[in-house]
Amino acid sequence: MAAILGRHEAAQRHLDQALAGAERIGSPPYVALTQFELARLRAHRGQNRDRAGAISLLEKAGGTAEKLGMRPLAAAVTSELQALRHPRGRATLLSDRELEVAGLVAEGFTNRLIGERLHISERTAENHVKNILDKLGFDTRAQVAAWSAGQTAKLST
C-alpha cells in the first residue's frame, strides 16, 4: 500500500522487514515473493544503483520460483527482467497478436467473441489463449486478465 501511495521509503522498510521475517522462518516462497516486490520497488525508482539491485533480487526470486514450481511468479520475474535489461525493448514474451488477445481476455471476451472481434476462427482464438497461458505460466484466464491489467498500468506510468 505504501508503494501505491508513493511512500517509497516506508514501502522499502516494510518489505525489508517482510524479507527478514520470511528468511527467519525459513519460507522460500515468501522470500521469493518479497524479493520480487522489493525489486519492483527499486526498479521504479529509476536510479542505476536501484536498477542493478532490482536485477539481482529478481534473479534470486526467479531461481527460487523455478525450483519450487511457482510458474506465475517465474513468468512475472522474466517479464520484469526483460524490461530492466532492455528498457526500450519488448517487456513480454508474447507476440503482438497475443498481447491483443490478452487484452480482450482482460475485457472478459470469450474465445468466440475474440474470434469475431479479430476476424479469426474461435479455434484460432482458443490457440492464442492457450499459447498465452503457456508462455506466462498461468492456469486461468483470470490470471491473464490480471497480468494484462498490470501491463497496461506499467505503460501508463
What number of residues does the chain have? 157
Same domain, 116 and 71: no
3-state SS, residue 91: coil
User: According to the model, what pLDDT value does residue 87 have?
Assistant: 52
For the record, the C-alpha cell of 150 comes out as: 498490470
Same domain, 71 and 138: no
Give the number of other Cβ atoms within 10 Å of residue 10's Cβ. Answer: 13
User: According to the model, what pLDDT value does residue 155 have?
Assistant: 52
User: According to the model, what pLDDT value does residue 86 have?
Assistant: 64
Q: Give the domain-ending residue among 44, 66, 85.
A: 85
d(CA 130, CA 55): 29
User: According to the model, what pLDDT value does residue 92 have?
Assistant: 58
Q: Which residues make Cβ contacts (< 8 Å) with residue 139, sequence separation at least 6?
A: 71, 133
Same domain, 112 and 76: no
Mean pLDDT of all residues in 86-104? 75
User: According to the model, what pLDDT value does residue 60 have?
Assistant: 94
Same domain, 75 and 31: yes
Mean pLDDT of all residues in 79-100? 73
User: Has residue 33 got a pLDDT over 70?
Assistant: yes
Range of the domain at 24: 8-85
Q: Are 14 and 37 in contact (CB under 8 A)?
A: no
User: According to the model, what pLDDT value does residue 48 have?
Assistant: 61
Q: How many folded domains does the chain comprise?
A: 2
Q: Give the domain-ending residue among 23, 53, 85.
A: 85
Instruction: Tell me the per-residue pLDDT of 38-85, one tens digit each, with 9 for 90 and over.
Output: 998 888 776 666 777 888 899 999 999 999 999 999 999 988 888 777
User: According to the model, what pLDDT value does residue 51 have?
Assistant: 77
The model carries a pTM of 0.56
Same domain, 75 and 121: no
Instruction: Tell me the per-residue pLDDT of 101-156, one tens digit each, with 9 for 90 and over.
Output: 999 999 999 999 999 999 999 999 999 999 998 888 788 999 898 888 877 655 54
User: According to the model, what pLDDT value does residue 49 have?
Assistant: 67
For the record, the C-alpha cell of 70 comes out as: 511457482
User: According to the model, what pLDDT value does residue 81 have?
Assistant: 85
Q: What single letter denotes the amino acid at residue 24? A: R
